[in-house]
Structure 1
Amino acid sequence: MNCPKCDRRIDSQAIKCPHCNNLLKGFGHPGIPLYQAETGTYLCDRCYYHQDDSCNYPQRPYAETCTMFHDANEPLIAETPKFKYPAGLAGFKLWCSRNRSLLIIFSLILVSLVLVAMG
């Protein structure tokens, strides 16, 4: 990873650039990325939250750094592929292993119905 300010190589978990002292992580926390605009530009110009007017950042619309930036050209929520059970007996076995408690409940209901019908 390179520092966006001095363009020198830095550790991806670094909170500040050791060369130019540029803040790289939001609130000094390594888990919160701090997005930074290039010199002379603003993040709000291409931010999803600025476009839908839900941003409450105090530096809006002239924010050069932001922890909530989301590029408006990218989808807000990445689609996850839906799980499909394999066909045939293998799919049935997998469904049974994942839904064991449901099978127990259905079995108890079936046994109770058989006992009522016999009695």
Structure 2
Amino acid sequence: MPECPTCHQTVDAKALNCPYCRTPLKAFGHPGIPLHRATGSESLCETCTYHADDTCNYPQRPDARECTMYQNLAETQQQEMMRHSLANRSGFNLVSVQKWIQRNPLVAILLALVLVSLLLAQ
């Protein structure tokens, strides 16, 4: 179970507010979206993926202490590195094949038709 960032009491994962100190745990008007809060003196923006790639349009940027869209930059980079290492280990890179199909849909359809007709001809 998650913990309240203010009073550190264990709370229900679906709780909108902490039952002990009434701290909002979910975004106002969006009860399914968690509300991320900064701990310490630095803002969330300093470690956010959206701030780093300059796609954030949050009005409190770059000093946001609370945010619903926060993504930890270190975690995102770690996930990307793991995905690349898995892709490099296997000889068959599924991601690059998917990108090629997206760029060349007509050629992919023609190749699929040729493959199906060859399978049916045997």
Band of TM-score, shorter chain: 0.5 to 0.7
Q: Give 1:106 deviation, angstroms.
A: 3.5
1:65 corresponds to? 66
The 5 A counterparts of 1:38-77 are 38-75=39-76
Number of equivalenced pairs: 93
Report the structure number with the largest CA radius of gyration: 1
Percent identity, please.
43
With normalisation by structure 2, the TM-score equals: 0.60
More helix by share: 2
Q: Give 1:30 deviation, angstroms.
A: 4.3
| Separation of aligned partners in 2, 1:48 and 1:106 | 47
For 1:8-35, what per-residue CA distance to the aligned partner results, in whole angstroms no more than 9, with x for missing partners?
Answer: 1101121211111111122444432211
Q: Indicate yes or no: 2:44 matched with 1:32.
A: no
Q: Please, what is the CA RMSD of the aligned residues?
A: 2.9
Distance 1:3 1:28, change over 3 A: farther
| Separation of aligned partners in 1, 2:33 and 2:26 | 6
Question: More displaced, 52-61 or 35-44?
Answer: 35-44
Distance 1:8 1:38, change over 3 A: same
Distance 1:3 1:67, change over 3 A: same
| Separation of aligned partners in 2, 1:21 and 1:105 | 65
Structure 1: runs of 5 or more not aligned: 85-101, 112-119
Distance 1:104 1:45, change over 3 A: closer
| Separation of aligned partners in 2, 1:75 and 1:46 | 10
Structure 2: runs of 5 or more not aligned: 91-113
The 5 A counterparts of 1:95-114 are 105-108=117-120, 110=121
